[in-house]
Every structure is written in C-alpha cells, then in structure tokens.
Copies of this chain bind each other. A is one copy, B any other.
Amino acid sequence: MKDLGDLLTCPVPLAGNATVLLAHGGGGRLTRDLVERLFLPRFRNRWLEPLHDGALLDRPGSRIAFTADSYVVRPLFFPGGDIGSLAVHGAVNDLAMCGARPLGLSAAFILEEGLAMETLERVAGSMAQAARLAGVPIVAGDTKVVDRGRCEGLYVSVSGVGVVAPGVTISPLAARPGDAVLLSGPVGSHGIAVLSAREELGLELEVESDSAPLWSLVERMLGVSKQIRCLRDPTRGGLATVLLEIAAASGVGMRIEERAIPVEDGVRAACEVLGLDPLYVACEGRLCAVAAPAVADPLLEAMRAHPLGRRSARIGEVVAGEAGEVTLRTVIGGERALDLLSGEQLPRIC
C-alpha cells in the first residue's frame, strides 16, 4: 500500500472510534482504517505491506505463500456450504490469488462450551471433504474451548501454505493502463445465501452460495499465460471493493461495464428487496483477474472451459486515470464512481 510513510513513524489511535464496531469487520473503509492505522504501523514489514490476500516468503529456490483468515459466519450452515467448507475454500482461494498451489492448511477452532458434538462433527466432516476436493491436506490444528456465551457455537481460523511456480508474479500492485478486467462468474451469491439462512429475516430465496476452491481454475489460467497481473477473490465488500483496492494499490483507474457483470436472478431480486447493491455483496468462489490485453481473450476462453468459470466475462479495463478511481458505466447508460462502503452492509457472512 502507498502513502503510509507518515504512519510508520507515528502510530496513532483510530480517530473517531474509541471502540470496535461491527463495521470494522465488514471489509470496507473501516476495515481498511483498522489495517492501515492500527495494524500496519505496528507490524510493518516488506512481506505484509502489499496487503495481498497472502504473503510471499521468498526462500532460496522457492516462493512460499502464506495466508490466514478467521471465520465467524452466522448461521454455521447455509445453502451451498457451511463454516467448515467456507473456511477451507477461503484459505485455498487466498493462496490461489497469489498464484500459489496449496500445500497444506491448518485449522484452529474456538468452541463454545455446550456446542453439540454432532455440530462439530458435521463441520469437521465438511472441512475434510472440502479439503479433499481441493486436493490439499489439513496438516495442523488446535482446539480451544471458551465458556458458554463467549462464542457463538464455533469459530475457526484457517491458515494455508502454498508454493508459487517460477515465473508467476501476481500482485495487487501490478495493474497497468490498457489491461483487461475479467470476472469468473456471477457475483453476490454467497452473501445472499447466508442472509437467506437467517431465520429472523424470513427470506424465502433459492440462492446457493458460490463457495468453491479456485486453485484448479487459477492453475488452468496460468497454463494459458503467466502474464496475469492481479488476481483477487471478491469476498467481504464484494466486487466493487476488490476493484477499488486493486486500482488504489496499482495507482491506476478502471472503467467497468455494469451490463457485463453477471448476477444470478435470485441474487438480483433479493438485493432489490433488501436494498443492497450486488456489487458489494460477497462471493466465495469467484475471482477477478487483471491481465495484459494480449492474453485476455485466451484467458477468458480457458476460464469458460472450467466448471467454476463457465460464466466468465470481460467486465472492463484499466485506465490511466486518477489512482483508485473506478467508474461504472451503468446499465441505463450513466456513469458513477464506485466507493468503499464505510458501514457494514452484511455482518458475519464469512
């Protein structure tokens, strides 16, 4: 990330927020504030600083990718997945977004006293199956139990280690004017599927989470070209946030065609009812790629030939405009600038 030099020498408290808000976990502006103003000034180092989905640890002869996420999704089970499969997919995808083949995962559980053992068995079984399907072993783990009422059933943190093949250099800092912006499928299904599982909302939707492990798709893409510049999976904050972050990190602008962005009908309908913008709703099995224009078409073809990329689309291009400025040409032909959400649109969807 850029423009943090002043924070390096002067760690400051977060202006205006004396306590943690739910929105600090929402993936939008407040999350970025927390990272940039609280964590980065303290933890600063060259591996952390790119704020990529994972860190690259260079070793003589190999590049190791390393990532970690906590999962607190509510409820634990939702259409198309559960906290266990979601956590495995999340770790695999963070590694894949670094261009890394997953080598192993760890799972650190925080369990609430009184959790039904059957629930834990179901989650562990789901993690095991997801790991098997993704072709990556769970190689380390930990279990802590907290008193009743000090956790909601279970939380799990999954970290992952992967290896990056020689010649692959994927970074959120690498987008250049003229590059194509590709998207691997419809957005927002995960967030809406989780919402639909919250009984208190009384939603009756037929939306399934898109949660899926993306390494095999990325592997196929890398087989077409190593000239993929950036990869990101639009999780918390959705596609809009990922585009804004890439544009800011790379110091470029983007022009995006709303019409080109696939959205499932059920997701669109739910978003209308709930007053949500699908561009800000999380996916857990989609990726956004920035690639040199010369390789965009063959990449798109390879993506569409993969089961997880059948509805891939070219959704826009990188432009030389102001750093971090992402302009959306809307379906009705207007233009609007995308912006980070400051509040929390959908708490605890991952």
Answer whether residue A20 sits at the interface, using C-beta atoms and an 8 A cutoff: yes
Residues A72 and B144 in contact, CB atoms below 8 Å apart = yes
Contact of A104 among B24, B47, B71, B107 (CB under 8 A): B47
Number of interface residues of A (CB under 8 A): 82
Q: Is the interface of A mostly helix, strand, loop or mixed?
A: mixed
Closest residue of chain B to A58, judged by CB?
B103
A residues 297-350 with Cβ under 8 Å of B?
A: 347-348, 350
Answer whether residue A150 sits at the interface, using C-beta atoms and an 8 A cutoff: yes
Q: Using Cβ atoms and an 8 Å threshold, which residues of chain B touch A120?
A: 20, 38
Answer whether residue A9 sits at the interface, using C-beta atoms and an 8 A cutoff: no
Stoichiometry (number of copies): 2
Answer whether residue A142 sits at the interface, using C-beta atoms and an 8 A cutoff: yes
Answer whether residue A61 sits at the interface, using C-beta atoms and an 8 A cutoff: yes
Answer whether residue A111 sits at the interface, using C-beta atoms and an 8 A cutoff: yes
A residues 39-82 with Cβ under 8 Å of B?
A: 39, 42-43, 45, 47-48, 54-55, 57, 59, 61-62, 64, 66-72
Contact of A70 among B54, B55, B110, B163 (CB under 8 A): B110
Taking the closest CB of chain B, its distance from the CB of A34, in whole angstroms, is: 6
Taking the closest CB of chain B, its distance from the CB of A115, in whole angstroms, is: 4
* Bound-state Cα–Cα, A309 to B260, Å: 64
A interface residues, Cβ below 8 angstroms from B:
11, 13-14, 17-26, 31, 34-35, 38-39, 42-43, 45, 47-48, 54-55, 57, 59, 61-62, 64, 66-72, 103-104, 106-118, 120-121, 124-125, 127-128, 131, 137-147, 149-152, 155, 157, 159, 161, 163, 347-348, 350
15 A–B contacts, CB within 8 A, in A order: A20-B113, A20-B114, A31-B143, A38-B117, A38-B120, A42-B125, A43-B107, A45-B139, A48-B139, A57-B103, A59-B62, A59-B163, A68-B142, A142-B157, A150-B151
